[in-house]
Structure 1
Amino acid sequence: MSETPSERREAAATRRRWVTLAEVVAVIGVLIAGLTLWNNWSDRRNTAAEKAAEAQSESRARSRVDLKAAVEDGGRRLALSDAAHALQDVEVIFPAALGVADQRPSGDPVIDARWFQDALLKATDGGADDREGRLPVLLRVTYLDGDAIRTTTSLYDVVWRTEGRLLQGRALKLEGLRIRSRSGTTKALNAAWAREKPAA
């Protein structure tokens, strides 16, 4: 049985259609594979970037000092501590206008009311005996973060209260410590005191 020329042309055209269809399917398959590869690579890159950012954020949070103050000696001292770090050294810097020298306690990290009591009572003299307020201080803390020794300087408020006494004038009591700013400078300290300074 011999094919006629028109049947041969038709059979060749059918074969060409199947080849063309196969080529189109192959190209679509290559495109899908390429898009899948790009998508996987992009996901891995995003995941790696997220993990790096998370690790950096976790490291930053782990190295941050969160000072807590416990009132001791009937309000005469604030004992400083940080649950996550061993404090090595604390320097307490007072506003320049108060006229109190910077203090670096030897031994336990504390803020002692005797350091600034006279200056603060003088600054509040002439008003009511019973007063409350905040004294901004700059705390420069040296601490251990794993094996590394780090130093941070932050602006805190020492919360204080004065009480009138019958024969001995007024007494100063410390009530707590509050953070004002995680970064602090002497300029910011002096500006904070100018705003917080109690009126006489």
Structure 2
Amino acid sequence: MNVNPIEGLLSIAAFLGVVWVGVLEGIVITIGLSFVAFVNEAWRPYRAELVQIPGMRGYHDRSRHPEGHRIDGIVILRFDAPLFFANGGMFTDYVRSVVAAGPEVTTLILAAEPITDIDSTAVDDLVELDDFLANAGITFLIAEMKGPVKDRLARYGLDRRFGPERFAPTVGAAVDAVLGHERDDIGEPSDRS
């Protein structure tokens, strides 16, 4: 069985802490190191551009599916962590770099299901990103955002800026709304083998 290297190091730290400084102190040290490891992981989360694969439902990670393709004018991005002070700037930098590197973009869709929370610093980053995209003529839509995160945006007063028209229940619904029609390259679920 393979062990995550970070978990292995935390186990060793727990053992050495207990041996060298005592049980309670060793556990406290390990909890502190675990917190640092958690923040480090959330600070640099997995990011993905999602693409369409002809004949396959959904939208998939471009780095894992090179056969996929962008939809003309649309970029779909996923950020797999809560947005908070440590990664909000990284999130906006990532979005800007993908938009700048691709062909002409008219719509950016954020697949927000993995974003389970957002703090006030990240809200500021989100507003700055929205302004940047609007100035570039790019519509910013958010798909699959969880209700509690939408509630948090409303508490920050962003429900006026990000009205219901900016949210979609799924990435597919957002793409369909932008294109003005549903995907026609896939059949009904019962048609697939």
State TM-score, norm by structure 2: 0.27
The structure carrying a bigger helix percent of its residues is: 2
The structure carrying a bigger strand percent of its residues is: 1
